[in-house]
A and B are shown apart, each in its own frame.
Chain A
C-alpha cells in the first residue's frame, strides 16, 4: 500500500507511468577522474621539483646564455634556413603538383619519381650527400649538353654547408608540399576552370589566375603545419657544422661543458618560435573558418602575408 497522493500512487493511477517532474537527479560520478588527476599532479610536481632543485639544470647559466650574441646569431640562422627552405620547397611543390596533374605522361612520371625519391630519403641523409657532392661531381658546368661549356665552378665552392642544408630541407619539403597543393588544386571545382576557359583564358591563365589562388588558400593550414615542422628540422644542419641555434649551443657547451643549460637555452628558443608560429597559424585558421569552408575562405586570407601571393603577380 502507498500513501495517497505520493508519486508512486500517482503512477499506479496512470497505469505505470511515473513522471520525472520535480524528482531529485543525481549526476553521474567520476571517481577515476580524481584518482587519475591526483596521479598526474604528483608526476607534474615531481617534474617541477626536478626542474627547480636539480643543480645540473643551472638556471643562472641558462639565463646568462639566453640572450648571448652567439645564440641569437644561431637563432637568426635557424629562421633564415626555415624561411628559405620553405619558400624554395613551396615554389618547387607548386611546379611538381601541376606536373603531377598534367596530361603529359612524362611530366606525371617525373613528378611521381621526384616525390618517391625525396619523400623516401631522410633529409639528414640528403644533407650529408649534398655536402659531399664534390666527390661525385668535382665541377659544376653550365653549357649545352655534350656541347660547349659556358661556365664552370668548383663544386666545393658552390655547395657550402649552408647550400647543402637548404637543398636537403627544401627538396624534402617540395615533395610534401606538392602532395598538399595537388589536393588543393583538385579541391577547386571543375566549374571554375570551365568558367575561366569560357571567358577566353588559356590553360596557363586559368591555372595562374583562378585555380592556384584558390588551391593555395585551401592548403594554408597544412602548410602552416609544415612550417612548424621545418623550423625543428633545421636543427639537423648541426651535423654539417652550420651555426644554427642548436649548433651554436653545442659550440658553447663544448667549450664550457655546461651541456644541459645550453640545451635548455636552445629548447626555450625553439619553444618560443613554435609557440609564435602556432598562434599565427591558429589566427589564420580562425579567419578561414569564419567564412565559407572553401569559397569564402579566400576573402580574408588576401590580407595575410602568410604565403607569398602566387597568382596575384
Chain B
C-alpha cells in the first residue's frame, strides 16, 4: 500500500493525542481509539510487526484494566449502579474510567507507532519543517532510545535464563535487586551504542549535502496533502466547538 509520509502521521498523532486529552467524552475517545488503530494497521505492513503489536497490547491490558478499576471505584458522583459496603460503582465513575483507560490506550498505541518508525525518517520530517538538525537528532535519538534499551534488556533477561536465574523463581524481595543490577549496564551500553550509531550514519555520508536524492521518490503525495488539510480543519473545528461550549 501507498505509505503515508511521516509528516502526515506526526500531524495525525498530534491531532489524536491533543483531542484525547481535551475531550472528556466517551464517544470521542472511542472514535479516536478506532482511528489510532486504523493508523497503526495502515502503517504496519508485515505480519511480524502485527504479532508484536498484539503482544504489546496483551501485556499492557492489565495496566489499562487497573486504571479502569481505580477510576470506577474512586468516582462517587452520578447514579449508583451497584453498591457493596464501601464499594460503589456509579455511572460517572464508569464513564470516566472508560475515558481514562481509552486515553491511556491511545497514548500507548501512538508511542508504539512512533517507536517503529526508522530513525532517519524523523530526521527528514523534522528537516522539512526546518527544525535545526541538532534538535531533530536529539528527538530521534530519544524516541529510539526506548526500543534499543528494550532489546538490550530482553537480551540480558535471556542471558540470565541461560545462567539458570529465572525471575519468576526468585523471592519477591530479590527481584528488584536483580533488576537494579541489570539496569546500569544496560543503560550504559545503550548510551554508548547511540554514539556508534551516529558515527555509522555519518560514515555513510549522512548530511553530506543539504539535500539528497531518493531511490524511490518520497514527495508528499496528494493523499498526504489532503489528509493533512482535513486534519487541520478538523482540529480547528473541534477546538472551536470546545471554546464555544465554555
| A and B form one complex | no
A residues with a Cβ closer than 8 A to B are: none
